[in-house]
């Protein structure tokens, strides 16, 4: 092979190497751009995760507060139920007492009613006896 052919071949190989280096340089630039984009996306996701974690902590804090308020409310409801039970029992006791008291106060009135019936019956017997006696006197004047 002659020197000029060798030189042409070397130049051709150097051009191919230069083209390959250009391609690799372009590929490397694209890879760096993609890496930068991915890094930027990753940082954005990390920031979003931090924001979401902050929201989650706020929600957790509110939830704890609500649970505390709910526990206080439940304790209040239980106390009210106890008080209602006591008040109901007290009301039942008073109602029983008042019923017994009314019965006791009505006893004399019932007794007076019974006495009236007895007096009316005795009066009816006396009137009937008087009527019979008057009739007998008419029939038998000597009695």
- How is residue 142 annotated by DSSP? T
Q: How far apart are CA 143 and CA 133, in angstroms?
A: 9
- pLDDT the model gives residue 143: 64
CA separation (Å) from 73 to 61, 66, 87, 92? 18, 10, 21, 28
What total of structural domains would you count in the chain? 1
- The range of the structural domain enclosing residue 88 comes to 1-103
Q: Assign residue 141 a region (left: φ > 0; alpha: ψ between -120 and 50; beta: otherwise).
A: alpha
Classify residue 133: in a domain, yes or no.
no
Q: How far apart are CA 117 and CA 132, in angstroms?
A: 22
Q: Assign residue 2 a region (left: φ > 0; alpha: ψ between -120 and 50; beta: otherwise).
A: beta
Residue where the block lists tokens 């008087």: 130
Classify residue 77: in a domain, yes or no.
yes
pLDDT digits (tens, 9 = 90+) for 33-47: 999 999 999 999 999
31 pLDDT band (50/70/90 cuts)? very high
Classify residue 87: in a domain, yes or no.
yes
Classify residue 142: in a domain, yes or no.
no
Q: How far apart are CA 51 and CA 45, in angstroms?
A: 10
Q: How far apart are CA 12 and CA 21, in angstroms?
A: 14
Classify residue 117: in a domain, yes or no.
no
Tell me the pLDDT of the chain averaged across its residues: 91
Tallying the residues shown for the chain, one arrives at 143
pLDDT digits (tens, 9 = 90+) for 67-118: 999 999 999 999 999 999 999 999 999 999 998 888 888 888 888 888 899 9
Classify residue 140: in a domain, yes or no.
no
Supply the pTM of this predicted model. Answer: 0.47
Helices (H), the chain: 3-139
Classify residue 114: in a domain, yes or no.
no
- pLDDT the model gives residue 1: 63
Classify residue 48: in a domain, yes or no.
yes
């Amino acid at each position: 092979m002659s020197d000029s052919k060798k030189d042409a071949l070397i130049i051709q190989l150097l051009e191919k190497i230069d083209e390959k280096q250009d391609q690799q340089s372009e590929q490397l630039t694209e890879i760096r751009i993609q890496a930068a984009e991915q890094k930027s996306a990753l940082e954005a996701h990390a920031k979003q995760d931090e924001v979401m974690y902050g929201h989650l902590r706020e929600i957790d804090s509110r939830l704890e507060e609500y649970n505390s308020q709910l526990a206080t409310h439940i304790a209040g409801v239980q106390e009210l139920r106890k008080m209602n039970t006591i008040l109901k029992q007290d009301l039942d006791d008073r109602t029983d007492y008042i019923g017994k008291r009314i019965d006791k106060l009505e006893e004399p009135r019932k007794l007076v009613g019974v006495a009236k019936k007895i007096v009316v019956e005795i009066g009816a017997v006396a009137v009937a006896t008087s009527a019979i006696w008057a009739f007998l006197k008419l029939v038998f004047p000597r009695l």
